Amino acid sequence: MKQSPGSQARVTATRVLDAVLHRGRSLKAELAAALPALSDPRDRALVEAICFAALRQHAAFNAALAQWIPRPLPRRDDELRALLHVGLAQLVALALPAHAAVAATVDAARGIGRAHQAGLVNALLRRAQREGLPASDLSAQWPQWLRTHLARDWPADLDGIYTHSAMPPPLWLRNNRLRQTRADYLHALHDAGLAASLPQAADDILAPDALRLEDSLAVTSLPGFAQGTVSVQDISAQCVAAALAPAPGARVLDACAAPGGKSAHLLEREPSLRLTALDVDAARLERVRETLARLQLEGRASLRAADALDLPAWWDGEPFDTVLLDAPCSASGIVRRQPDVLLHRRESDLAPLLHTQAALLDALWTTLARGGVLLYATCSILKAENQAQIEAFLARTPDAQPQPLHEAFGRLTGQGRQRLPGDGGGDGFFYARLRRN
C-alpha cells in the first residue's frame, strides 16, 4: 500500500512523544537523536512542531481521549496514545489541513505496527475534526505541587503564567554588534523576506541587540547565521549582560556557562573582557567552544570543565571582578520552550536545587574581589529559588550589598527583579545584583 506523504514524520513524532510522555525521557535529547534520520528539513521541522504542540496541550488531549474512549488505554497502548496526540496536535494546535493530517496519521498507525488500530485512530481524529476538543483548564498542564507554589507566589498573575506558558514563544535573535549594527541586520532580515521587529521601548534599554521574528524558522536559514552575525537567544536571557555590565578589561567568570550564549554576548559587548567560561559538563562545555567559534570569538575566553563548587579544581586564586551565576533551577519560567518540564520535574527535586543554589552562591562569593559584583540569575518563577534564596544569602553574608536594578528588569521582589513568562515577549527570569563590600 502506498504511504501518505509525511507519514514517516508522524511515525518519528510518535516515537519521540512516546519516550517523553511515558518513559520520562527529555524532549531535547529525543529530538536530537531522531531528527537526523529524516533527510527532508521540512519533515524535521514538522516533527519538532508536532512534538512541542502536543506537549503544550497534553493534559487537554488526555482529557478528550478519556471522554471519547470507553475504557482507558492500557500501558501496552502507550504508543497508540502518543500517535493520537500526534494527530490531535496537527488538527487542534497546528491547524494543518485535516484530510492530509488524518490520512498521514492513520498511515503512521501502520508504520508503528498498529494497523489493527488504524480504524480507531481515524474515528477519533474525525471526531476531533468535527467537534473540536472539550473545554479544558490550562492549569491542568501543571502538576499540583507547582500550581500550589504559583498560587502562593503569584496569585494575581496565575492566568497570565498559564496562558503564556502554553503558547509557542517568538523567535528572539541577538545581533552580533561586532559584525554589524542592529539596524543593518534588521534590513538584512527584511531583504530576505522575514518579518522582524525591535523590542518594546522599555525592554530596548536592556536588550539593545535584540530582534524579534514573527514566524519561527530553522536558525540555519537566518542571513549570516553560519558566519556568526546573529544568534538565537530569548530577550530575558539577553538582559543578563545589561544587569552584569562588567567594566572594560574586567576579569569575569561565567560559572554555569553552557551552552555559551551569555558568555558570547558579554564578549560581543566588550571584547576586552578576561572571561572564564566554566561548566561541570565537559560535553556541554564543547557547545560553548562551538558557539564562540561560530561567532569568531574563539580564543577570547578560557574554558574550564569543572564543578564550580570545587574551587581547588579550577580557580587560580586571583579574584574575579564580576561573576555570573546562572544557577541550575526548576526551569519553571521556560515551560513554553521546554514543555516536558511539567512532566518530569518533581517536588522532591526542589530541595536539592535550593541546596545547590545556596552552595554555589557561597562558594563563588569567595572568588569575587572586594568591590566586585555577582549576578544571580535563574529561569525560575518560584520565589523559593529567587527572592527567598537571595534573602537567605544576604542574612548569612555580611559583606554582600544588594544593588538596585532598573524597573525594566521586571517586578521588584525583595532584592531582585522578576520577569514572568510573556513579559515583554520573553521567558520567566530572575535577576539579583550583589556587590561585595
Looking at the annotation, which residues are catalytic? 379
CA distance 48 to 30: 11
| Residue 279 marked in a binding site | yes
| Residue 326 marked in a binding site | yes
Q: Is the peptide bond before 5 cis (omega within 30 degrees of 0)?
A: no
| Helix H or strand E encompassing 418 | strand 416-419
- In this structure, the strands spanning 230-232 and 171-175 are antiparallel
CA distance 214 to 237: 19
| Among 321, 295, 325, CA closest to 308 | 325
CB 182 within 8 A of CB 175: yes
| Residue 51 marked in a binding site | no
Cell representation of residue 252: 569575569
Burial zone of 379 (CB within 10 Å; 0-12 exposed, 13-18 middle, 19+ buried): buried
CB 252 within 8 A of CB 275: yes
CA distance 194 to 245: 31
Q: How many CA atoms lie within 13 A of 276 on its CB side?
A: 21
User: What is the secondary structure of 13-50 as a DSSP string?
Assistant: HHHHHHHHHHH---HHHHHHHHGGG---HHHHHHHHHH
CA distance 48 to 375: 34
At residue 298, φ and ψ (nearest 5 deg) are: -60, 140
| Residue 400 marked in a binding site | no
Q: What is the CA radius of gyration of the chain?
A: 23
Handedness of CA 27, 33, 37, 40 (dihedral sign): positive
| Residue 115 marked in a binding site | no
Alpha helices in 301-349 (DSSP H): 311-314, 341-344
Q: What is the DSSP letter of 154?
A: -
First-to-final CA distance of the chain: 75
| Residue 257 marked in a binding site | yes
Question: Which positions make up the binding site for S-adenosyl-L-methionine?
Answer: 256-262, 279, 307, 326
Residues in binding site = 256-262, 279, 307, 326
